[in-house]
Structure formats: structure tokens, C-alpha cells
A and B are shown apart, each in its own frame.
Chain A
Amino acid sequence: MHVYLNTRVSLFKSRLWPEAQVSELIDVSDAALPGLLERRGLRQLAGGYADDDPRSLEARIVAILLEETRILLRPLTGAARQFLLYWIGRFEVSNVKSLIRAKMAGESASATAARLLDLGYFTHLDADALMRAEDVAELMRRLERTTYAEIVRNARQAFEESHDPFILDATLDRAYYDGLIRRARAIEPEAGPGFGRLMADLIDRLNLVWLLRYRFNYGLPPAQVYYLLLTPGYRLVPSLLRTLVGHDDLAAVLAGLPEALARPLVGAAAIPEVSARLERVAMDHAGTLLDRDGHPLARALAYLILRESGLRDLRGILRGRRLGLPTGDIRLAAGV
């Protein structure tokens, strides 16, 4: 299993776009763009470049990720396989959220269907039946009879009491990542420190960004913010989180962070900046892990993280080009 997965990941590594190639994508002419995408193995995106529907681009990116995950899943069994399946389940949780939002907005079933991602092999939900639920309460009860019962149950109870879409969204997110942490903890002893580091980068970033957003954008009290965070996290341990949620401004929170998290955030003044900087650090760690010898599952996860981030950058560039934004702006947004 290890040899096959490692070889697969090493081969997949050539699909990641180095900065120079991303830069070329910004500078190339419109006529040459589909050819360039095709040469770099993104035939799926090349075909749809002229498409006016931005969602189809997202759907195609997800299709690429699903296909590559399916290949990486082949040699995996047991808890490692469960973890990767759950990891890719994010897209279906996103479908669950789309279904709920559509139902809240009273959208028609066909409009809702257009929003949903086609997950093919990874589909668990009968979206057709779910779309035809009469209201949010009925939808949630139906969802509780699916594989996402664990994630939806708490959200339904909270929503019934409050009818607050924010609570619903936050509870769903937290429940999903709680499940991810649980599955990761089960394989961390075997998958090694590299895997733990990837999870720490992801979970600590989410925790910090949620904390800042809930506390200072939504003005929630510290106790409620703490309840919405992922505990136990990694470097942001519960005792530290309890202290951090009590601070009254962003600077104080950042000052209270452990050294490893505080270093890249020196001078950060806004929440998006905090998120972007931590994401950059996480990508650097994933890149280093991918280049080194390590546990194949950790390398596979690093690859998937980098691939997803890379594809989303490409999406940004393609959208920017389609909207006719100046090259400088696209370059700035893409970070090249």
C-alpha cells in the first residue's frame, strides 16, 4: 500500500502548478489559454473557459479533486480510508448547506439542483428527494435519516429553538470538523508527525479565524464563541482558547497566540489577512511534506490540500480574466 500510494502521490506532484506557470496563465492570450490548460493536464477546465456560468468552473474543479481522491483511495483501507472519504465528504456537506439555504430562500427544486455539486461516486444523499421537502424542518428531519445524521442532529435542535441561519451554519461546520478531528486522531499515531502538522495547520487556522469572526464581526459573547470552536484543537488547546475568547480586540488575541502561530501574523490587522497568512504557512508546510519522504497518507493529504488550493487560485485567475480585470490585480489576488 505504502509504495503504491507514495508512487501515485509523487506522480501526481507534477500536476501542481509552480508559480512561474501560474504567472504564464495570467499573461497568455485568450486564444492560447485553452491550449495551455490542456497541455498542463486541465482539459476539463480548458473546455469550459468560454462558459459564462461560473458555477460550472467550480463543479469541474471539484470533479478533478474527486477523481484524484478516488485514485488515492484505492490502496487505502480501514481508518485511513475512512479519513480520506470523510475529508472528501466536505463537498457533500457543502451540498447539505446549499439545500438548507435554498429551502430557507424558498428556491425551486430545479434552481436548487443547479447549485448542487455532482459528486458521482462519492454521493450519499438522495438530493432529489431532499429538494422536495416542504420546509427547513422537514428537510432537516430527512437529513437525520442519512449518513450525515451525526452532523445534522445538533444543528436541527439548535435551529428549531432559534431559527437562526447563522447558528445552523456554524453548528454544521463545527460538527463536520469535529468528525474530521476524531478520524484524524485515530490515525495520527500511525500516520506520523507530518500528518499531525497538516491537521494542526488546518484546525488551528479554522479555530483562530472563527474565533475572530464570531467574536469581533458577529459580536458573540466569549462563552458562545468558545462553544463554537473545535476543541480539543492542536496548538490552540482548550485552556488557551478560553483565554483568547475573553480578549476584546484582534491585536490582544494575536498577542496571546503561541509563538508558532504568532510569528507569521506579526502586523496582521484584519481577519482576512490572518486567514491568508496562515493559509500560506499551511501551504508551505504541505509543500515541504510533499517533497520529503514521509508517511504516504500524510503526503496524499498534503497533495490534496495543495491541489485544491492551486485549483482555486486558477479559478480566481480564470474568473478575473473573464471579468476583464487588469493583469496586475489578478496577479495580486493570485499572490504571484
Chain B
Amino acid sequence: MFKAKPMLKVELLCLASETQEMALLLARHGGFGPAGKAGVASGEHYRELYLEAAARLDKIMEYCGHHDAAPIPDDAIAPNERELAGINHRLQEIWQACSGCHEQETRMAEEKERLAMLRETYARLSTLAVDPARLLRRDGLLDTRLGQIPAGNLKRLGDALSVAGYLLTVFDRAGDQAFVVVAGPRSEDGQAANRLGGLLTQAGWRDLPVPPELRTDPSVAARYLESEHGRLEAMVADHCELRQQHWQQHALWLRQAAVLLTLARPLAESSLLGLSGKGQLAVFSGWVPEGAAGALKEALAERFHGRYLLVTHAPGPEDTGKVPSLLTYPAWLRPFTGLVKSYGVPRYGEFDPALLFAFGYVLLFGAMFGDVGHGAVLLVGAMLLHGRLAWLRWVGAAAGLASIGFGLLYGSVFGYEALIAPVWQSPMHDPTRMLWLAVAFGAGFISVTLLINIYNRLSAKRPGHAFLAGDGLAGLVFYLAAIAGLSGLLAGEGAGVLSAVTAGLALIAMATWAGREASGPVGERLVVALVESLETAINLFANTLSFLRVAAFSLNHVALTLAVFTIATGLDTMGHGVAVVLGNIVIIVLEGGIVAIQALRLMYYEGFSRFFAGDGVEFRPLKLVLQEKRSGA
């Protein structure tokens, strides 16, 4: 639970003609994670085909609105390169048909939006004292156009048109579109193209169709809009039908294609990572959890009957930083791991902070939001979470329980402090004590994180960093000595020579290490050493003071409930009840949210950032799972 599972480095040789089967077996076994350089030309081509085909299948499925897939038969085999090319080609044809429809649908949606705007525009245009039909006459003195452009381009287009002697006037706006009249002197040859070139196109211009009878008979515009609307609706209906037809026509084959692509995926993935070879031999390189190596050997022996060579050995120094981390957790801890992973993955051999996070987070939340009633509401609320938020259920429940626990310590139920006797004390009764306790907790927490970091560095065989760096032993010694000195000063006993000398020596060690690690000329190293060691020292104390917020929020919680009661006291019985209920809802939602974020912030920035780079590689074995839905850009 505190470290990743031990891994074995694996090299698996097989016949090049059996790479697809081998990849499939490894995926079915589910314990082999490919790693290392890949270098088989045919594999790259296979992967390229797979990726193209998978992207097309995704788009088609998304377009058709279907994501169901057929199950994978146990004896199914992966497609070879030629078959994969065939699948890809057919998917391309289907997608081309679909994308044409998709593009047209997008345009129709834009057109519908535009029609809605036109409706209003025509209404305004008909009230102008201008006859559009005359205005737009081709034999007039003016070269006049009516159109729409993105409003953001108005100023630039107006200025540019003035260069050609044209004038731009806005007569209506709708959304981000502006409806404009552009007019200029008609040239002798009647061609404006020479003067404007592609200017209007460049500005996103779209002509505004104006029925010639608009002035004489306003109902013409209405009829025009109705007919356009009807035409669009019919087109949309046709397209919906076409989409359905596409699906019905290809559904069976698409489902089969999804299965075949799933079977092709293991080899495609290996071609990016871990598959190399020459001539008739192929080599799969990667990692297997020590505990799964036996099962893999059995599966290989059963399927390939000696036509392979499997070499496994423990990771060596050359593998530092490359070994993937396989982290397993008991069910109760798993809900918290999402929050740890959102920061990063621990390196192989590093301390896994999931347990520390779970306890630290819950403890900090409870301390900042201690109230039996509020905690109970959170607990019930969390248990009701479902769907996308279901993963938060147990985190919320644990936070609610911690809140109840601290509520008992503080003697607070929905802000009432007279209902139960506090097991300890209400935060407001001795704020100074709360603040000191918060700082002391912070100092302890930071010391623990520094100790973990020392362990991590030693695990990574970096004793210099472990002992001399600002986030190593030197930093810890400096921190503890400085705390001892400060405590002496505050107690009126002076900083103490031992503390000052120890802190000074530790600081020198930190600076020496920072200078040694920096690159560049001597001057640059000196600056880096000075700035970075001072920055580390200052940060240690700034981070400690960050924990003041734990006490501050516990006080804030009481203060907020007091404010609610103050408002409620001035109201009648009904008003009092409403104010107390609403006030408590606000406290639970707003303050609860803020405290949840603050506790997370403390864990991430004051805790993780000190010992946890989060740059480990998660162990990702080849698996036989149906095509995942891929996101767009």
C-alpha cells in the first residue's frame, strides 16, 4: 500500500509471423506492459492503419449515435495488415459519406440560425425608407451589397473598404453577426472585383438575400422565410433519415469492425512501445508484475509450445525512472486515489502517498468544518451521489464523518453550542490555542513530508540529494533548528547558539548543493545557490504558516453560524426558522466547498510538492478491451 508492486523486466522473443497472436495473448493475459524502443517498420505501418481506422470508427459511431459493440469471442484472432488496410479503407468510405452529411448538418444548423436572424432583420429593413430592390440594382450608379459579417471584423472591414472608396453602414446586429450595407461608386467597367479582390471573403462576408418585392409587399419576405424554413426542415429530416440509413446499412459490419480493431489494438500499441525485431524474429520488451510472471509463462507454454524465448530479470540501476508503477489499494482507499493521481503517479520505489492523503485530507477537512449537524448532512448527501459523481461518495462520506467527529470535540450541532457538551472545546473559546495547534500540526506535517522525501531520494540512489538538498535532510535539520530557535525567542529564552549554528550549517549545505546542481558559469551558479537556498528556507516557514488556515477556517465556521443566529434573532419565529435553515444551507454549500478545496490545496502544495514529483509511469498492461471512445482535439 505504501509502494508499487515489484516488477520484472521482460524480453519475449517470438517468430515475426506470430507477432499478432503473441500480442493478443499478452493482452488476454493482461499482465504485460510494453516499454522501450519500438522499431519494426511493418509494425509502424500496422499501427498507423489501426489508428486511422480507430479514429474513423469513433467518428462514425459518434455521428450515428451508437456506441454498442459485439462481445469478443474467445477464439477470435487479430486481423493481419492487409485485412486491417481493408477495414480502414471501408471505414474511410463510410465516414466520407457520413462526414458529408455531418458537414451539411452543421451548415443547416448555421443556416437555421441565420434564418432566425433574417426574420428580425427583414422586419427592420422593411421599415427603412429605402427600396432595397432599387438599391441593389445592377445598373445603378452605386455598387451596393447587403450582407452579414462577424461583428468583430466591422472596424477593420470598414477601414479597408474606405481605401477602395466604399462605405460600410451597419443597420442591424444579431448575436455576433452584423448586418451591413456596403456601397461604393460603380467602376466604369462595372467590376468591383478589381478594387475589392477577396476582401469581403476574407472578412467572412455572406450575402443577404433580399426579395425584390420586399418594399412593395412585406409579406413576400415572410413567405420567403417560411419557404426557406420549410426547405431546411425537409433537408434536416432527410439527413436524419440518411443517418439512420447509414447506420442500418452498415451496423452489422461496424460492430464486427469494432471487434477486429479491438483485436488489432495490442499489436498496434506494442508497435509504438516495446516491439522491435529483425528478419524473422520479433522481440516484445516490457514489464510484468513479479506475481503475474508465472501465469504468463504457463499461458505462453500452452499456446506457443516452445516457439518463444522469455527472459525476465529484476530492474537494474539503468532502469531508474523507467520502471512503471503498479499500485493496488484496498477498496476503501480507492476513492481517494483519483485525487492523488490527479496530482501525479508515484515513481517505482517511491513512497505512495495515497494513505497519507486519505487520512490527512479527512483530518484537515474535519478540523476546518467540525459540526455534528453539518457533517451528518454531508454524510447523507455524499451517500446519495450517483452517476458521474459516484466516485466522490466515499470521500464525501469520510469527510462528513470527520466533520461529525470534530463536531463532537467542538460541541457544535448546526452551530448550536448548547445542545451537546464539547468533548474538547469550541474553537472560539480559545482562538490562540487553535492557531498554535494548527502551526504545530503544520510543522509536524512538513517534517513528515521531508522525511518521506529523504526516503524517496535514498530509494532512488541519490544520497547527495537526500542529505544535502533543501528538501532533504539538510532542509529538515535547518527547519527543526530554526523552529527550536524561534520557540526559544518567543519564550524569551533567546534563539540559542546550538540552534543558530545548526540552522546556519544546514543552510550552507543547502546552498552548496543547489550551486553544485545548477548549470552554467560560476556567477550563475552563485546566484542560483543563493536564491534557491533562501527561497527554500522562506518557503518552509511560509508553508508552515499556511496551516494557520486550518484554525482560521474552524473559527470562521463558528463565526458564520454566529452571523446566521444574529440575523435570525431579529426575526419572528417563522423568519427565525427560515434564516437558520437557509444560513445552514449556505454554510454547508459555500463553506463546505471552500474547506474541501483548502484541504486539497494543503495536501497538494504543502504536502505532495515536497516529496512527490508525480512523474512516475503508471503500469499500463496490454488489455483486450473494446475500443475506447476517443476525444477530439
Chain A interfacial positions (CB closer than 8 Å to B): 4, 7, 11, 14, 41, 108-110, 125-126, 128-130, 132, 134-135, 137-138, 141-143, 145-146, 153-154, 157-158, 161-162, 164, 167, 170-171, 220-224, 226-228, 231, 238, 242, 245-246
Give the residue name and chain of the B residue nearest to A3 (CB): B531
Report the bound CA distance from A170 to B198 in whole Å.
Answer: 12
Cross-interface CB contact of B633 among A110, A142, A222, cutoff 8 Å: A142
Q: Mark B508-526, 1 if CB is under 8 A from A, else 0.
A: 0000000000001101100
* Contact, CB under 8 Å: A223 / B195: yes
With A108-B48, A223-B196: A132-B150 Cβ-Cβ less than 8 Å: no
| CB–CB A125/B161 < 8 A | no
Give chain A residues whose Cβ lies under 8 Å from the Cβ of B204: 154, 157-158, 161
What CA separation (Å) do A195 and B197 show in the bound complex? Answer: 36
CB contact between B202 and one of A7, A132, A158, A242 (< 8 Å): that residue: A158
| Closest residue of A by beta carbon distance from B195 | A221
Q: Is B219 an interface residue (CB 8 A)?
A: no
Q: In the complex, A231→B163 CA distance in Å?
A: 14
- Do B198 and A224 touch (CB < 8 A)? yes
Report the nearest A residue to B184, measured CB to CB.
Answer: A223
Does the CB pair A227–B203 fall under 8 Å?
yes
- Whether the Cβ atoms of A132 and B159 lie closer than 8 Å is no
Q: How far is the CB of A117 from chain B (nearest CB, A)?
A: 17
Specify the chain A residue showing the minimal Cβ separation from B204. Answer: A157
A149 to chain B, nearest CB (A): 10
Closest to B165 in A: A223
Judging by beta carbons under 8 Å apart, are A221 and B630 in contact? Answer: no
B12 interfacial by beta-carbon distance below 8 Å: no
Judge whether B160 and A162 touch: CB under 8 Å.
no
- Which chain A residue shows the least CB distance to B103? A137
A110 with B48: CB separation less than 8 A:
yes
Min CB distance A217 to B, Å, is 14
Chain A positions within 8 Å of B197 at CB level: 220-221, 223-224
The reply on B290 being an interface residue by CB < 8 A is no
A61 → chain B closest CB, angstroms:
18
A11-B523, A11-B527, A129-B55 given; A238·B159 CB < 8 A: yes
Q: Does B459 contact A (CB under 8 A)?
A: no
- In the complex, chain B residues whose CB is within 8 Å of the CB of A146: 633
Query: Which residue in B52, B194, B521 is a CB contact (below 8 Å) of A132?
Result: B52
Q: Please tell me if B51 contacts chain A, counting CB pairs below 8 Å.
A: yes
Prevailing SS type, chain B contact patch: helix
Q: How far is the CA of A226 from the CA of B164 in the complex (A)?
A: 10
Tell me, rounded to whole Å, the shortest Cβ–Cβ distance linking B428 to chain A. 36
Q: Identify B164's interface contact among A41, A129, A162, A222, CB under 8 A.
A: A222
CB distance from B39 to the nearest CB of A (A): 14
B199 touches A14 (CB 8 A): no
Q: Which residues of B contact A153 (CB under 8 A)?
A: 150
Q: Are B163 and A245 in contact (CB under 8 A)?
A: yes
A-B contact pairs, 12 of them (CB 8 A): A132-B55, A134-B96, A141-B106, A158-B204, A221-B194, A223-B164, A224-B160, A224-B202, A227-B199, A227-B203, A231-B159, A246-B163
A222 surroundings in chain B (CB, below 8 A): 163-164
B632 CB to closest chain A CB (Å) equals 5
Min CB distance A59 to B, Å, is 19
Known A-B contacts A109-B51, A130-B633, A231-B156; the reply to A161 vs B163 at CB < 8 A is: no
Of residues 64 to 96 in B, which have CB atoms within 8 Å of A's CB atoms?
92, 95-96
Interface: B216 (CB within 8 A): no
Q: Which residues of A contact B205 (CB under 8 A)?
A: 161
Choose among B152, B160, B521 the residue that contacts A227 (Cβ–Cβ < 8 A).
B160
Given contacts A162-B201, A221-B199, A246-B163, contact A154 B153 (CB under 8 A): yes
Complex: A289 Cα to B200 Cα, angstroms: 41
From A4, A7, A226, A231, name the one whose CB has the most chain B CB atoms within 10 angstroms. Answer: A226
Chain A residue at minimal CB-CB distance from B44: A110
Q: Does B397 sit within 8 A of A, measured CB to CB? A: no
Asked whether, in the complex, the Cβ of A167 is within 8 Å of the Cβ of B160, the reply is no
A199 to B152, CA, bound (A): 23
Query: Which residues of A are found within 8 Å of B198, using beta-carbon distances?
Result: 162, 164, 167, 220, 224
Closest 9 CB pairs of A and B: A227-B160, A223-B164, A132-B55, A157-B204, A224-B197, A142-B633, A221-B197, A224-B199, A223-B163
Contact B521 A14 (CB under 8 A): yes
> B256 at interface (Cβ–Cβ under 8 A)?
no
Nearest Cβ on chain B to A141's Cβ, whole angstroms: 8
CA distance A7 to B56 in the complex (A): 52
Within the complex, the shortest CB–CB distance from B178 to chain A, in Å, comes to 14
Residues B633 and A227 in contact, CB atoms below 8 Å apart: no
* Residue of B51, B52, B202, B531 with most chain A CB atoms under a 10 A cut-off: B202
Q: A24 to nearest B CB, angstroms?
A: 19
Q: Which of A128, A129, A223, A224 has the most CB of B within 10 A?
A: A223
B159 to chain A, nearest CB (A): 6
| B468 → chain A closest CB, angstroms | 23
Asked if A158 meets B201 with Cβ closer than 8 Å, knowing A146-B633, A226-B163, the reply is yes
Assembly CA distance A222 to B157 (angstroms) = 13
Q: Are A132 and B96 in contact, with the CB atoms below 8 A? A: no
**In the complex, what distance in Å separates the CA atom of A30 from the CA atom of B1?**
56
Which B residues from 574 to 633 make CB contacts under 8 A with A? 630-633
Indicate if the CB atoms of A129 and B631 lie closer than 8 Å.
yes
Q: How far is the CA of A228 from the CA of B153 in the complex (A)?
A: 11
Contacts A126-B631, A129-B630, A153-B150 aside, 17 further interface pairs with beta carbons under 8 A come to A11-B523, A125-B633, A129-B631, A129-B632, A130-B633, A143-B633, A157-B204, A167-B198, A220-B198, A221-B164, A221-B199, A226-B163, A227-B202, A231-B159, A242-B159, A242-B163, A245-B163
- Complex Cα distance, B52 from A128, in Å, reads 10
**CA–CA, A68 and B371, complex, Å:** 50
Q: How far is the CA of A132 from the CA of B202 in the complex (A)?
A: 27
- The yes or no answer to B162 lying at the interface (CB within 8 A) is yes
* Contact A109 to B48, CB < 8 A, known contacts A129-B630, A245-B163: yes
Instruction: Let me know if A134 and B202 touch, CB within 8 A.
Output: no
Interface string of B146-178 (1 = CB under 8 A from A): 000010110011011111101000000000000
- Which residues of chain B come closer than 8 Å to A141, judged between CB atoms? 106
Bound Cα distance from A51 to B586, whole angstroms? 65
Nearest B residue to A147 via CB reads B633
How many angstroms between the C-alpha atoms of A138 and B524 in the bound complex? 49
Q: How far is the CA of A246 from the CA of B160 in the complex (A)?
A: 11
Residue of B nearest to A8 (CB): B527
Q: Does B337 contact A (CB under 8 A)?
A: no
Separation of A125 and B52 alpha carbons in the complex (Å): 18
B425 sits at the interface (CB 8 A): no
- Neighbouring A residues of B157 by C-beta, 8 Å: 227
B121 within 8 A of A: no
